[in-house]
Each structure stands twice: as C-alpha cells, then as structure tokens.
Amino acid sequence: MKVVSTNITVRYAETDQMGVVHHSNYIVWFEVGRTDFIKELGFHYAEMEKSGILSPVIDVHCSYKKPTTYGEVVTINTWVEDYDGLRVTYGYEVKNQKNEVCVTGYSIHVCVKQDSFRPISIRKHLPDWHEAYEKLKHK
C-alpha cells in the first residue's frame, strides 16, 4: 500500500484554551496530507482546478485518541482506502514523535464541475487519475 508521510510542526494558533490542538485542525492537516499524496502520485490538485474541475469533500470522519501540542512535530500518513470510479476515500493517521497514533480518520471525495457543482465520473473525465487510483487499489 502506498502511504505518503507529511511532517507538520504544530502552530500556536492551532491550540485552544484546553492547551492542546483544537480538533478542527486535524481536518486541515488531513488536507495537507492529501495534497502531498496527490503530488507524490504525479498530479497537482491546483492544475485540476484550473481545468474547471473541483474535488469537494462529501464525508469526513475523525477519531481522537491523544492530544497533540504546540511545538510538537507530527506526522500525517495518507493513503487511498477505497475508489470506485466516482468516489475516492483517503485514510489518515496522525502520529506524534513517540510514534503514538493520536488521530485517525478518512475523507470521501467526488469530482464536480466548477460552474455547476455537478458530480462527474473520474473514470470518464480524468482517465489519468482513474488509472492511478485503480493501480493503488490493487496494490
């Protein structure tokens, strides 16, 4: 399975008055991991958008096991969990420097036309991406 790792140094602004990272930030970190994963596949999300196709999230889930704190360097591991030609499910894991799993989660994405937000088939409209995701599934 292809897993891409991204390091993030926790920002002060990402903490809340509990003294730990606010839970909404992990959703942002997942996105940072996803960006890196896509780049490692040889694609660029920004270029896809320029061609008039967006890839919004339709579902996100996050399980919090251990807090992370300001100054820590955390690792986001990202992989493809599922793909059916229309929807991609990415899996994520956030680990701290002791290699403890702090947060796990997934997000499901479709592709839509920028002007209408109407879903399109990745298989048909983005054949290169389709091929890459199919290969990941069979690994």
Where along the sequence are the contacts to a second copy (CB under 8 A)?
9, 11-13, 15-20, 22-25, 27-28, 31-32, 35, 44-46, 49, 54, 56-65, 67, 69-71, 117
**Catalytic positions:** 16
Of 65, 66, 3, the C-alpha closest to 34 is 3
Nearer Cβ to a second copy, position 55 or 80?
55
CB of 127 to a second copy, least distance (A): 23
CB of 49 to a second copy, least distance (A): 7
Does residue 133 contact residue 122 with C-beta atoms inside 8 Å?
yes
Residue with tokens 């602004």: 13
Nearer Cβ to a second copy, position 98 or 138?
98
Nearer Cβ to a second copy, position 1 or 13?
13
How far, in Å, are 11, 85, 127 from residue 133 at the CA level?
33, 9, 10
How many whole angstroms separate alpha carbon 43 and alpha carbon 55? 13
